[in-house]
Amino acid sequence: MGFLGEEDMMNRVKVTIRCKRCGERFILRGRREKGKINTGFKQCICDNSNDFDIQIEDSY
């Protein structure tokens, strides 16, 4: 485990991504960066890369 600064903790979010094509769900940890959420998620196992339901929750 690495060191996390206070600001980093505050920016931490849980992101649930559901693929609208195949229904697969991915639960990821992301970070708010300059108003955007960065999760590193690229695409679903079905090759869908832009058709998703995305839910974001604060996570500490």
* Residues of the shown chain interacting with Zn ion in the complex, contacts defined by CB under 5 A: 19, 21-22, 24, 44, 46, 48
How far apart are the C-alpha atoms of 38 and 29, rounded to whole Å? 9
| Cβ nearer to Zn ion, comparing 9 with 22 | 22
Shortest reach from residue 22's CB to Zn ion, in Å: 3
Shortest reach from residue 44's CB to Zn ion, in Å: 3
Looking from the CA of 25 toward its CB, the CA atoms found within 13 Å total 6
Shortest reach from residue 15's CB to Zn ion, in Å: 16
How far apart are the C-alpha atoms of 7 and 14, rounded to whole Å? 16
